[in-house]
Structure 1
Amino acid sequence: MVEDARELCDRPVKRKTEVQHRVEEMLAKLPPEETASFMFEQWWAAELPGRGYSPQDATGFDEAKWQSFEHALMNITTQIRLSNWR
């Protein structure tokens, strides 16, 4: 029970670290001139278009909703990869 409470408390920081790593990987695949103005903290706190929540808000989601958020984020990576093949 204490471990569950600790995991719940630590979850937002852990999830943010995971997302930040993924976003950095995604940005590394793009030309620097396209990513120069990107600021992670600003994106992190901003409401995502069409979603009604920010990535920061998503850190509090239950596991199923969090996985849906992660899946959407990973789809961006797939789209970047596919656009590089054109």
Structure 2
Amino acid sequence: MAGLNRDVVTGKDTTAALDKSWTGAQALDKVGAQIQITSAGMPRLAKEIGDYAKIKQAELTLQGKPEEADRWAEGGIYRVAAYRQRGPDRPALN
């Protein structure tokens, strides 16, 4: 920090150094596109989570670990946690 140049440059007009190079309509279009992409992917992601949880539950049941398998069951702590990672405002879908 001691070597930081703190000299102020004068004689240079910087009033337009920061300009708005976007419009509200462009920003709205981009956000709308992002929402559509995310919305289209969420059901697929929910199905993948459910499929994975069912596989884990079956594997653990076959291994004789019923308590661990229950954690992957519908409403189990692991499955719920996996759905919550998707996003807090989205309900779990199967």
TM-score, normalised to structure 2, is 0.37
Higher relative contact order (CA 8 A, sep 6+): 1
TM-score, normalised to structure 1, is 0.40
Bigger fraction of residues in helix: 1
Q: From the CA coordinates, give the structure whose radius of gyration is larger.
A: 2
